[in-house]
Chains A and B, each alone.
Chain A
Amino acid sequence: MNILEVRNIQKRFGSKTVLDGVSFCVPQSCVFGFIGRNGAGKTTTMKAILGLIKTDAGEIDVCGERVTYGKKLQSGSIGFLPDVPEFYGYMNAMEYLTLCGEITGMSGKALKNRIDELLELVGLEKENHRIKGYSRGMKQRLGIAQALINRPKLLICDEPTSALDPVGRKEILDILSAAREQTSVLFSTHILSDVERICDHVAFLEGGKTAFSGSTREIHELKGDSDIELVLASPADLNQVAERFTDSKLSDGRLILPKASDKKCSELLRFLSENDIPLIRLERIQADVEQLFLEVVGR
């Protein structure tokens, strides 16, 4: 079952078309990477999913319920973490989460237990200070806690790692990865290594359209035959191999066989064996998110 279905949404701001047919689906219990360059329309798409802005065309369903601008979903099924979360600086984490919980209709012991659970998940259980003294990373962690307070079926995070140092990024990615057990996560980013680290599904947004949407496994399949990289004990042998495989390229003491089929790989191994060429490394280079993204954006 899909938690989120976005179908052909369009949005214009004045004469500028920001979204021009964005479509993708987020399955249950997955971490979904929403990838695009700065200004690609990621935040606009997310705000449309949250019902915070009005779309010009298209449909959005969350848990089977249609999203309407300005109206709260009956199921209350979305948690949201803005890119730069801002809180009431005069409150502490416990007070802020109590406010969020009470707004969602929680109260009493159930709310207190949930807050304790979340503060432990995000590592803020010992923080009694007011939020105005928090670092950016602490605010992001509190942002995740508030977004998860009412156990939403979908957690939307807008570039949660873009402004953090490597340690802060790792912490947030670990928390999001752990949150997968409770909810589906949709997070936008332009940091592709973050996507490869935790996502099992991705969508690329380019020119206001969804250029690709699918699982990370599909990315590898989509790339088809990948390159083979060969490193030999003697660099002189590389020339011999290059003469035999004319479409190969030599670079930095390595030989690259582009888009090599399994048959070509067997031929290469046979050639090396027949000519007693000592081998250091033979590796099939897996297609990654970055390669596909660069192909999609035409770079």
Chain B
Amino acid sequence: MNGIVPFFKKEICEMIRTKRLMVLGIVFTLLGIMAPWLAKLTPKMYEMLSDDLDQQGVIIKDVKVTALDSWLNFEKNLPMALIIMLIIFCSIFTNEYSKGTLIPLITKGLSRTGMVLAKVTVMMLTWTAGLWLCFGITCFYTDFYWDNSTVSGIAFSTFCWWLFGVFMICTETFFSSFASSSAQVLAGTGAVYFILMLAGAYKKLSELLPVRLTDSTSLYKSSLSKSDYFTAIIITAALSVVLILSALIKTGKRSI
């Protein structure tokens, strides 16, 4: 894995100077703030709409918002954060191949394995920092307005989302190892996500698939326990490792 450290430093520099880090920082911060604030604003929004709703025969009284509403908003925001991140990272490999920027570095001894692992590490670090920043903001405001202890499994459900994000990053890396354009990478990654969602509709299968990890509502409401997620966690982690190993083999054979 010759050259992995300098290449990793280059990736960090790229994240900062191309403003990808700033954009993702803003996205994760905004989504973290939006979850509790939307919950907080919900009664006022109903109040503003009450006259119109009265005329239609719908009477709204005493809309009560709890910490659960804030965390449900948080869960709904996470796919948006993940999709934005995957779009930003879809060209991280293909740009290097199409422009030929890797050629001078590889002829100097940068190993292809080191190159892939440096990029995957940067993507995972970004996802980890972004997700937990988003979680921290939601956690603080929710506890400030209500009480986090009334909702169960908030940290565990966020860990499940983190693992699902890691799996999607590995999927994107796998498609990047042979695709020739960022559009192909995005289409492949999107197709995997779509197929998983469709397969997840079949209840018996959904318990085993990575999409189970995105079901935070059942954890918040205690309708499912942590142990119900363990099989999906192991399968997702194993699939992620397989995808990364396949990406390393494919990248090693790729004509640059």
Contacts and interface: CB of A to CB of B under 8 A. Distances in A.
Interface in A81-117: 81-82, 84-88, 90-91, 95, 98-100, 102-105
A90 B13 contact: yes
Interface stretch (B105-113, B127-135, B213-221): B105-113
B10 A52 contact: no
Interface residues of B, number: 28
A260 B76 CA distance: 90
Contact of A91 (B3, B13, B108): B13
Contacts of B18: 90
A78 B103 CA distance: 12
B109 A76 contact: yes
B99 A103 contact: no
Given A90-B18, A103-B2, A103-B6, A82 B105 contact: no
A150 B101 contact: no
Nearest to A52: B256
B237 to A, nearest CB: 29
Interface in B9-67: 9-10, 13-14, 17-18
A149 B108 contact: yes
B109 A72 contact: yes
Contact of A103 (B17, B110, B256): B110
B5 A102 contact: yes
A85 B104 contact: yes
A70 interface: yes
B118 to A, nearest CB: 11
Q: Which 7 A-B pairs have the closest CB atoms?
A: A102-B6, A90-B17, A103-B3, A80-B107, A86-B99, A72-B109, A103-B108
Interface of A: 50, 52-53, 70, 72, 76, 78-82, 84-88, 90-91, 95, 98-100, 102-105, 143, 146-147, 149-150
29 contacts: A53-B255, A76-B109, A80-B104, A84-B100, A85-B100, A85-B104, A86-B100, A88-B101, A90-B14, A90-B18, A91-B10, A99-B6, A99-B9, A99-B105, A100-B105, A102-B5, A102-B6, A103-B2, A103-B3, A103-B6, A103-B105, A103-B109, A103-B110, A104-B109, A105-B2, A143-B104, A146-B104, A149-B108, A150-B108
